[in-house]
């Protein structure tokens, strides 16, 4: 099968985690700002869409070249083999962005790329009239960075965070891709307890259950490239069969989610049910201040309110402080809290073992990590 240049796009700060996922799938890759690039065939594209939990989208790079004039952009775009990807009836909208480049008018770049592709397709499909564009969708992007043009086609459709299970959500839901990344940054193993004390719509516990049973995040959704002629039908069937084979539905899990708001608990339960994990996660209404447990060596991952709205900061900090007291006895547990509050360690009452800068959408946050004691070694 033909090899393509594949790009897995990533949120800022998550590149290393996405790259690890790509390598775990079996593909050597390079890491750049916001993207992970590698080579692979259509099966690699389908597997990447199916399995990557922390990437935003999977794209194919069609070409990359320097362009300082619209003529150059037109000629170099026209020289690329678009007909190898796009059938005669393809729908192919072109979006764009331009950063620090001579060709800064994005709408002009989009129009020129569109015209160049039409011209190329007219020649290869021997067509003199307009294309009807009533077939499968190929979302093309022209991205300019420092005069380097990158032309890509999106293979995912909706972003990969759309797993298909979240119908209800609260005020500040976490993106599923970020939730998965937060879990991947912990030392959690599926045979250990896992708790999200601020579960909201349940994103973190649901992602933990998917990881715990090795269920592919894309198993319950469709991808735009499933309709493309370059993908033989068998590829997606094989990739779905592989996902079914690799899922470990027998893995027992001890995952719970709590929230102060009983309406959120109900939404989380409904979402878990939608994901097919209804009986695997226990949700209940509870304040984090009241959390106690006799279990050991568990992991807590929490995305509490940040208190960014006017007048909320004080109450949120009071809650953080009480949370610190409630968690203090849990010396075998590892605790991970994502917040934008810069005084978190002081308010919580303990310096973090480690912290990591992450963006939750446009909000700059830190992921405060408190590592628990290690379990004693069992000598054989
Ligand atoms: C930022 S949201 C969490 C969103 C969640 N990660 C999701 O993806 O939907 C914070 C949640 O913490 C809950 N919360 C606020 N104060 C709490 C407290 N003292 N104890 C437990 N939950 C609390 C809120 O009801 C809200 O659902």
Residues 65-77, mean pLDDT to the nearest whole number? 98
Cα 264 to middle of ligand 1, angstroms: 8
Task: Provide the sign of the torsion angle of the four alpha carbons 185, 190, 192, 197, taken in this order.
Answer: positive
pLDDT score, position 164: 87
pTM of the model: 0.95
Q: 110-124: per-residue pLDDT in tens?
A: 999 999 999 999 999
- Ligand 1 atom nearest to CA at 170: 9
Ligand 1 pocket, mutate which of 173, 176, 179, 198 (most atoms under 8 A from CB): 198
The number of helices, as runs of H, and strands, as runs of E, in the chain is 10, 14
Q: Give the span between the Cα atoms of 305 and 171, in whole angstroms.
A: 10
Q: Return the ligand 1 atom nearest residue 306 CA.
A: 1
Instruction: Give tens-digit pLDDT for 173-185.
Output: 899 999 999 999 9
The answer for residues whose C-beta is within 8 angstroms of residue 32's C-beta and 6 or more apart is 15
Please name which of 327, 11, 17, 281 lies closest in space to residue 165, comparing C-alpha atoms: 281
Contacts of 294 (CB under 8 A, 6+ apart): none
Among residues 256, 313, 310, 306, the alpha carbon closest in space to that of 286 is found at: 256
Q: From 161, 180, 200, give the residue whose CB has the most ligand 1 atoms within 8 Å, as the site to mutate.
A: 200
Q: Among the atoms of ligand 1, which is closest to the Cα of residue 261?
A: 25
Q: How far apart are CA 260 and CA 264, in angstroms?
A: 8
CA atoms within 13 A on the CB side of 71: 0
- For 243-292, the pLDDT digits (tens) are 999 999 999 999 999 999 999 999 999 999 999 998 999 999 999 999 99
* CA 90, chain centre distance (Å): 27
Closest residue CA from atom 3 of ligand 1: 200
What is the model's pLDDT at position 380? Answer: 64
Rounded to an integer, what distance in angstroms lies between the CA atom of residue 368 and that of residue 51? Answer: 27
Q: What is the pLDDT of residues 354-366, one digit of tens each?
A: 999 999 999 999 9
Lowest mean pLDDT among 3-7, 54-58, 151-155, 171-175: 171-175
How would residue 47 be classed by pLDDT, with cut points 50, 70 and 90? very high
> What's the CA-to-centroid distance between 170 and ligand 1, angstroms?
9
Rounded to an integer, what distance in angstroms lies between the CA atom of residue 255 and that of residue 234? 36
Give the distance (Å) from ligand 1 centre to CA of residue 216: 26
High-pLDDT (> 90) share of the chain, %: 91
| 1 has a pLDDT exceeding 80 | no
Pocket of ligand 1 (CB under 6 A): 169-170, 172-174, 197-198, 200-201, 203-204, 259-261, 264, 287-289, 303-305, 319
Contacts of 263 (CB under 8 A, 6+ apart): none
Label residue 377 by pLDDT band (50, 70, 90): confident
Atom of ligand 1 nearest to the CA of 316: 16
CA of 305 to the centre of ligand 1 (A): 6
Name the closest-CA residue to atom 12, ligand 1.
198
d(CA 159, CA 155): 10
Ligand 1: centre distance to CA 96 (Å): 37
Burial pattern 81-100, b for ≥16 Cβ within 10 A else e, equals ebeebbeeebebebebebee
Name the one residue in this structure whose structure tokens are 């390598």.
23
């Amino acid at each position: 099968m033909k090899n393509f240049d594949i790009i897995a796009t990533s949120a800022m700060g998550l590149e290393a985690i996405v790259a690890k996922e790509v390598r775990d799938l079996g593909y050597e890759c390079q890491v750049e700002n916001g993207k992970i690039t590698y080579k692979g065939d259509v099966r690699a594209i389908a597997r990447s869409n199916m399995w990557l939990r922390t990437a935003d989208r999977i794209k194919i790079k069609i070409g990359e070249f320097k362009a300082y004039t619209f003529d150059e952009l037109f000629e170099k775009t026209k020289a690329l083999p678009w007909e190898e990807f796009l059938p005669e009836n393809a729908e192919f909208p072109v979006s764009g962005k331009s950063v620090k480049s001579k060709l800064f008018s994005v709408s002009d770049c989009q129009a020129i790329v569109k015209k160049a592709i039409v011209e190329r397709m007219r020649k290869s499909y021997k067509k003199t009239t307009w294309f009807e564009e009533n077939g499968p969708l190929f979302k093309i992007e022209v991205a300019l960075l420092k005069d380097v043009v990158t032309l890509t086609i999106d293979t995912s459709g909706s972003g990969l965070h759309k797993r298909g299970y979240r119908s209800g959500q609260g005020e500040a839901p976490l993106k599923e891709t970020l939730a998965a990344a937060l879990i991947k940054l912990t030392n959690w193993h599926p045979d250990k307890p896992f708790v999200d004390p601020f579960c909201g719509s349940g994103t973190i516990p649901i992602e933990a259950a998917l990881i715990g049973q090795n269920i592919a995040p894309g198993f319950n959704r469709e991808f735009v490239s499933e309709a493309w002629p370059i993908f033989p039908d068998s590829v997606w069937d094989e990739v779905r069969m592989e996902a079914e084979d690799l899922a470990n539905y027998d893995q027992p899990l001890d995952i719970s989610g709590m929230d102060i708001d009983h309406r959120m608990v109900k939404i989380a339960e409904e979402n878990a049910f939608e994901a097919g994990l209804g009986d695997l996660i226990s949700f209940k209404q509870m304040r984090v201040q009241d959390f106690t447990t006799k279990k050991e060596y568990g992991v807590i991952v929490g995305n509490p309110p940040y208190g960014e709205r006017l007048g909320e900061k004080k109450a949120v900090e009071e809650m953080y402080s009480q949370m610190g007291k409630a968690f203090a006895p849990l010396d075998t547990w590892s605790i991970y809290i994502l917040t934008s509050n810069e005084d978190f360690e002081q308010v919580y009452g303990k310096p973090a073992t480690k912290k990591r800068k992450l963006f939750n959408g446009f909000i700059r946050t830190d992921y405060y990590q408190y590592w628990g004691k290690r379990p004693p070694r069992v000598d054989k």
